Amino acid sequence: MHSTINPAILYWGTPVAIVSSENEDGTFNLAPTTSVFWLGHRCVLGLAAESKTPQNILRTGQCVVNLPDDTQTGAVNGLAKTTGTETVPPGKISRGYTFVHDKWASSGLTPQASQVVRPSRARECPVQMECELATAHEMWTDVPGMAGVILSIELRVVRIHVLDGLRMDGYENRVDPDKWRPLIMSFQEFYGLDGGKKGPSRLGEIGEEEYRMLAAADAKQPVDDKHPVEEVDGKAGPEHV
Ligand SMILES: Cc1cc2nc3c(=O)[nH]c(=O)nc-3n(C[C@H](O)[C@H](O)[C@H](O)COP(=O)(O)O)c2cc1C
């Protein structure tokens, strides 16, 4: 039997990516995201527009999408609840975010020069994809007050680096899925493809209901008394991812 529910988030389980982008001062920012998919040699990221990363990508047209494996939760936790935006937006403050300029230090990751784009790769990540901006779209343009709060950013993947240990024997251009173990985030917690939980998640310290405004902005489903749709009224602010 199925039941009807109205979760605050629909984070069913996607790979964690760590995006490197160039700040105004020429240093490189790092940020984790899991709103990501690939088709062909295109990558689409879903990012809150108030974050430093999309602002850097839109300004410079470049980034590196690094993929950690399921042993690298420490690096992701070192980036969780941090922003490269000096004046931390109110919504992030309420969720415990702090400004960190040197995210390489906080994550323990090491910069490695890229070949095509300016932002560095994260040396410890088994997969590193150098990317150029193709186009960006505002999401939620159909909801008053929400247009541009979240951006979908379409990237061209222009160079792909993988650890030799991930390559399929006997092939020039294949990754062996028996060897690649992505870090999966499901409902703010970390998992591997083996099904096991991969230790604590700092992001998971944020209550799911902290994200309710974003879901409720659509106001398509009935919600319970604690979170009535009427309270949202199209006024959802930009700080809800
Ligand atoms: C595991 C994990 C997954 C995340 N996924 C997303 C996401 O899909 N989209 C998003 O906008 N933020 C996501 N975040 C939050 C961003 O990392 C956060 O907004 C951060 O402040 C961005 O850094 P920046 O402001 O320096 O770019 C995620 C954080 C973590 C730890």
What is the CATH superfamily name and number for domain 14-231?
Electron Transport, Fmn-binding Protein; Chain A (2.30.110.10)
Q: How much distance in Å is there from the Cα of 32 to the middle of ligand 1?
A: 5
How sure is the predictor about 240, in pLDDT bands with cuts at 50, 70 and 90? very low
pLDDT in tens, 152-163: 999 999 999 999
Query: How much is the average pLDDT of 108-126?
Result: 98
Asked if residues 53 and 200 have their Cβ atoms less than 8 Å apart, the reply is no
How sure is the predictor about 222, in pLDDT bands with cuts at 50, 70 and 90? low
DSSP E strand stretches across the chain: 14-15, 17-22, 28-33, 36-39, 42-48, 62-67, 82-83, 98-99, 111-112, 121-122, 127-138, 150-162, 184-186, 189-191
Around ligand 1, the residues with Cβ closer than 6 Å are 16, 29, 31-35, 46-48, 51-53, 76, 80, 83-85, 97, 185, 203, 241
Pairing state between β 98-99 and 82-83: parallel
Q: How much distance in Å is there from the Cα of 55 to the middle of ligand 1?
A: 13
The yes-or-no verdict on residue 223 having pLDDT over 60 is no
Q: Which atom of ligand 1 is nearest to the CA of 29?
A: 26
More confident residue, 100 or 213: 100
Residue-range domain boundaries for the chain: 14-231
How sure is the predictor about 195, in pLDDT bands with cuts at 50, 70 and 90? confident
The yes-or-no verdict on residue 224 having pLDDT over 70 is no
Q: How much distance in Å is there from the Cα of 1 to the middle of ligand 1?
A: 35
